[in-house]
Structures are given as structure tokens and as C-alpha cells.
């Protein structure tokens, strides 16, 4: 046995040497697991961009249970949770009874079964890195940060499947995941050598479905060198986004309508942890009579807060939540000059409040108007200006009426009145608008919005508009 292996090794070496003369591309790639080279009697081979390895690499090198069934020409590879079946010459794989397409076909070469290592390894929880210059395939076992301990309180419920429809990064190093029904990950796995953040999205797949992975290289950015995403596991269904980060890179996770944002920034710029949560307000069943006899109640809603900072202004190194709160406080002060208006705020400091609680607050207080203040962000930094959003028909008149006052207040470009299904203006019932005062991704807008005199003007003008709308002269 030993003898035949070494003869084969010699033969393959000779073959390699002859084959590689003058053809760098035909030099067989080397395989490494956690930095240790895996050797085999037959060289790995690259075909159509996929690395094919002899089956022994999977069993002896990687420790999986492997079966070969010659009649069906079927390979079965197993670990604790996953069973993978491949058939020679078929560009598909059966994973725990689900059939998926794969790019590379397993094949017989010189009587040896060669399998696409990446397609199989990733399904079994390995992460891959291809070092093109060295022609090296590096594999890493991904370990959860803490040993998985069954959670007795929350048994895993089969959740409806969410879909990721797009992943992109803007000029402010914010990676945005556009999705339907995907839950925000709690926190990423932190992997070393190279330093990476791996975000897992549970019960999530991609729409349209794709196999393999999408890899994006990022040049000249100290925060990251790139990111990639793939269907990491089918059971349980998990999509994974891995970001190759710099030594001093931190992140802030936030959410907006159908989007999850991962803002990368130097660790020094991470907003401080929110103070211990303030006792939640007891659910209001009967609205308190805090109207002071004023005929009108206006609820002002400063978007975001605390751990949910909203958009980031790179030029001002400040967060949207700060602008929203300042602007709301200015607006409140102006409105309160009129005793006929009872002004209430969903938040009056840097507190995190769920969207549902903002809606409930406005409903419980039987608000006559709901005004939500935000600032926007976009990956093209040239986009600038103020927008006023409404969603329900009973809010369009308020949006149309208020928008000129918004423009007078910000002094920014007119991007018009728009209809969009933001939750807070969709699920409230009174006339409700959401003002995107400007774009923090645009340096000019950001500078204006974080200027005290602009905020004063914004408060005064929007208050004037609200009073005029309520016919309070
Ligand atoms: Zn916002």
C-alpha cells in the first residue's frame, strides 16, 4: 500500500513537472487547512475556476465521513448535521435531501474521484480563501464564538424564510443588505487571521437564488479589504456575509425599512453604548389628559436613537439621530409658543424606541398630526436636498402644505413630496409625514443640517407651516 502510494506520488510529481513547464496556470494549487498544508497522492486540479481534489482530502484531510458507491458513481460526504451527495459528471448536489446546482462537476480522473472542494466544504461549514499569486487554497473551520448551548427558553421555531435581494456598499463604508423578512443579526462572529466579521442571517436565502459566493474587493480603504456573501448553510437555512476588516475597524448595525445597514468605522468613532434602558413606559390604556386643554395635539418623532444611530455623516463625523433630536427640540420650542398646541415627543433624549411604540404613542395620545424628522443618506454623495414623505391619502395634503416650509427651513435643494411606506406614517391613522431634511451623505447638506442657525430656521419654518395647516393664526 505504502509503496503504491509513493509510486503514484512520484508519477504525479513527474506529471506535474512536465505539465507545468511554461504553463503557470497548470501548476496544481496547494491546499491548506488552518494554515497546514494537506497532501494527497493526486494533485488538486483547477477546472473552470473550481478546485477539484481527490476524495481522500475530504476524509483524511478534513475528517469527513466519505462513501463511494461505484455502481451509481455516487459520493456521499457527511458531518454531524449535513449529508452531501454528488454524482460523477452531474453539476448538482443533494444536501440533506435538497437538490442544488453547483458550478463544478465531480469527475473521474485517472481512476480517481475528484470533487469540487469548495462547493462541498462550504456546505459543511468551511470558509475558503484563494491566494491567486501563490496558487493556494486556504480553508478555515468556522467556530461559533461560544460553544452552542441549547437555549431552553426559546426553542428554535421554524420561521418564515427571508430573502436577501441585494448587498451593496456606499462611499461611507456602510454595507446595506436589502431584504424581505430577514431578521437583523444579533452580532457577528469575529474571526482572526485575517480579521473578519461574519454576519449570519437565519432562515434566509437569496432572491434570485444563487449558488457559490459573491465576492467584492475594496481597494484603498483602511476599514476593509472586501466582503463576500453566500448561502452558508441549508440546514438550518443560513446566509452569511463575511467582511475582511482592518485592525481597527468597528461596526454599527442598524435597520431601516427592508434594509439592514452595517456601518464600518474606526473603533474610536463607535457611538457609546446606550445607558441602561430607561424603565419602559407602562402601556397606556386610557390616554392621560396631558393636553392642558389645548385643542390640538402634535406628536413630534425624532427618528432613531441610542443604539440605532441612523445615517452617518462622514464629513461631520456625526449621526442622524443627533440631528433628528436637535431639530425636534427646536420645532417643539417654536410650537409651544402657541398655547393651543399640545406638543408631545416620542423621544426627548438619546433613547431607543421601537417603531411600533412610536406609532402606539401617537395613537394613544390621539394626536391630530404626526411629524417624524429624519435625515437621509445615499451611496452617491452628490445627491442632496429635502424631501417630505407621506403614505396614506389623509396625509398627502399635510405633506404638500408643509413641504415649502421644510425647504424654507433647510434652505436645501427641493427633492419634492414623495409617497413611501415608512412604518410610522403608514401605521398611524392621523395625518402623518416623515421629513428627510437633507442627505448626510452629501457634505453640503450635512454641514447645513448640523449648523445651529439652520436648525433654528427649520424649527421656526416648520412650526409656522404646522400652525398654518391647523389654521391657527
Ligand atoms: Zn432616518
Cα gap 274→155, rounded to integer Å: 29
Task: With beta carbons less than 8 A apart as the criterion, state whether 352 and 306 touch.
Answer: yes
**pLDDT band at 289; cut points 50, 70, 90:** low
CA 440 to ligand 1 centroid distance, Å: 10
For residue range 383-408, list pLDDT tens digits in order: 899 999 999 999 999 999 999 999 99
Together in a domain, 257 and 343: no
CA of 446 to the centre of ligand 1 (A): 14
User: 320 and 461, same structural domain?
Assistant: yes
Helix 320-335 and helix 452-469, axial crossing angle in degrees, nearest 10: 50
Q: How many A from CA of 439 to the centre of ligand 1? A: 10
The predicted structure's pLDDT at residue 338: 94
> Does 376 reside within a domain?
yes
CA 233 – CA 225 distance, rounded (Å): 24
Residues 3, 8: Cα–Cα separation, whole Å: 9
For 417, the enclosing helix (H) or strand (E) is: strand 414-419
Tens digits of residue pLDDT in 197-227: 999 998 888 887 766 778 899 988 889 999 9
Residue 110 has pLDDT above 80, yes or no: no
> What CATH code is carried by the domain that includes residue 190?
2.60.40.3500
Q: What is the structure's pLDDT at 255?
A: 85
Q: Is the pLDDT of residue 24 over 70?
A: no
Last residue of a domain, one of 111, 141, 171: 141
- Expressed in angstroms and rounded, the spacing between residue 298 Cα and the centre of ligand 1 is 20
Per DSSP, the residues of 313-324 read ETTTTEEHHHHH
Å from CA of 124 to ligand 1 middle: 39
Domain count, the chain: 3
Ligand 1 ion: residues within 5 Å (CB) = 303, 310, 374
Beta-sheet strands, E only, within 203-349: 204-206, 213-217, 224-234, 237-245, 249-256, 259-266, 296-302, 312-313, 318-319, 341-345
CB atoms within 10 A of CB 331: 27
Ligand 1 centroid, distance to 252 Cα (angstroms): 14
First to last CA, the chain: 99
**Containing structural domain, residue 363:** 296-469
The pLDDT tens digits of the residues spanning 398-453 come to 999 999 999 999 999 999 999 888 889 999 999 999 999 999 999 999 999 999 99
CA 320 to ligand 1 centroid distance, Å: 7
* Strand 174-180 relative to strand 162-169, pairing: antiparallel
What CATH code is carried by the domain that includes residue 451?
A: 3.40.630.40
Residue that is written with C-alpha cell 463576500 in the block: 228
Residues in CB range of 150: below 8 A, 6 or more apart: none
**What is the whole-number distance in angstroms between the Cα of residue 311 and the centre of ligand 1?**
6
Confidence category of residue 148, pLDDT binned at 50, 70, 90: very low
409 C-alpha vs ligand 1 centroid, how far in Å?
A: 18
Nearest to 109 by CA among 18, 28, 31: 28
Instruction: Tell me the CA–centroid distance for residue 374 and ligand 1, in Å.
Output: 4
At 327, is the pLDDT very low, low, confident or very high (cuts 50, 70, 90)? Answer: very high
When the pLDDT of each residue in the chain is averaged and rounded to a whole number, the result is: 83
Residues 344 and 373 in one domain: yes
| Ligand 1 mean position, distance from CA 469 (Å) | 24
pLDDT at 290: 57
88 and 208 assigned to the same domain: no
Are 380 and 412 contained in the same domain? yes
Q: Which range is most confident: 97-106, 222-231, 271-280?
A: 222-231
Amino acid at each position: 500500500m505504502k509503496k503504491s502510494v509513493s509510486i503514484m506520488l512520484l508519477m504525479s510529481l513527474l506529471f506535474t513537472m512536465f505539465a507545468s513547464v511554461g504553463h503557470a496556470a497548470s501548476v496544481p494549487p496547494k491546499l491548506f487547512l488552518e494554515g497546514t498544508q494537506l497532501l494527497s497522492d493526486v494533485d488538486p486540479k483547477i477546472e473552470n475556476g473550481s478546485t477539484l481534489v481527490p476524495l481522500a482530502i475530504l476524509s483524511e484531510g478534513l475528517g469527513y465521513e466519505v462513501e463511494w458507491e461505484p455502481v451509481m458513481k455516487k459520493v456521499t460526504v457527511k458531518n454531524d448535521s449535513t449529508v452531501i451527495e454528488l454524482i460523477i459528471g452531474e453539476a448538482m448536489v443533494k444536501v440533506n435531501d435538497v437538490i442544488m446546482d453547483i458550478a463544478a462537476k465531480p469527475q473521474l480522473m485517472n481512476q480517481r474521484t475528484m470533487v469540487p472542494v469548495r462547493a462541498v466544504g462550504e456546505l459543511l461549514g468551511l470558509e475558503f480563501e484563494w491566494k491567486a499569486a501563490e496558487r493556494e487554497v486556504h480553508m478555515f473551520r468556522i467556530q461559533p464564538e461560544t460553544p452552542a448551548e441549547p437555549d431552553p427558553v426559546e426553542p428554535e421555531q421554524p420561521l418564515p424564510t427571508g430573502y436577501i435581494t441585494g448587498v451593496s456598499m456606499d462611499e461611507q463604508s456602510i454595507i446595506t443588505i436589502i431584504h424581505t423578512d430577514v431578521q437583523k443579526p444579533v452580532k457577528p462572529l469575529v474571526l482572526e487571521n485575517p480579521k473578519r466579521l461574519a454576519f449570519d442571517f437565519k432562515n434566509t436565502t437569496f432572491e434570485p437564488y444563487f449558488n457559490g459566493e459573491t465576492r467584492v474587493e475594496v481597494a484603498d480603504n483602511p476599514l476593509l479589504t472586501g466582503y463576500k456573501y453566500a448561502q452558508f448553510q441549508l440546514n438550518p437555512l443560513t446566509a452569511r456575509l463575511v467582511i475582511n476588516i482592518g485592525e481597527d475597524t468597528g461596526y454599527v448595525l442598524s435597520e431601516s425599512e427592508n434594509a439592514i445597514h452595517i456601518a464600518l468605522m474606526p473603533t474610536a468613532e463607535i457611538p457609546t453604548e446606550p445607558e441602561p434602558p430607561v424603565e419602559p413606559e407602562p402601556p397606556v390604556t386610557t390616554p392621560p389628559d396631558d393636553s392642558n386643554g389645548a385643542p390640538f395635539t402634535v406628536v413630534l418623532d425624532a427618528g432613531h436613537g441610542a443604539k440605532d444611530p441612523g445615517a452617518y455623516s462622514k464629513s461631520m463625523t456625526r449621526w442622524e439621530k443627533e440631528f433628528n433630536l436637535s431639530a425636534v427640540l427646536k420645532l417643539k420650542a417654536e410650537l409651544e409658543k402657541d398655547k393651543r398646541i399640545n406638543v408631545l415627543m416620542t423621544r426627548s433624549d438619546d433613547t431607543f424606541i421601537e417603531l411600533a411604540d412610536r406609532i402606539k404613542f401617537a395613537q394613544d395620545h390621539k394626536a391630530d398630526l404626526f411629524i417624524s424628522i429624519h435625515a437621509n443618506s445615499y451611496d452617491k454623495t452628490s445627491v442632496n436636498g429635502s424631501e417630505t414623505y407621506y403614505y396614506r391619502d389623509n396625509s398627502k395634503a399635510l405633506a404638500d402644505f408643509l413641504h415649502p416650509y421644510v425647504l424654507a427651513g433647510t434652505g436645501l435643494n427641493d427633492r419634492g413630496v414623495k409617497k413611501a411606506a415608512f412604518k410610522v406614517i403608514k401605521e398611524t391613522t392621523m395625518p402623518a409625514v416623515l421629513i428627510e431634511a437633507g442627505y448626510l451623505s452629501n457634505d453640503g447638506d450635512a454641514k447645513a443640517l448640523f449648523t445651529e442657525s439652520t436648525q433654528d430656521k427649520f424649527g421656526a419654518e416648520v412650526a409656522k407651516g404646522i400652525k398654518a395647516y391647523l389654521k391657527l393664526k
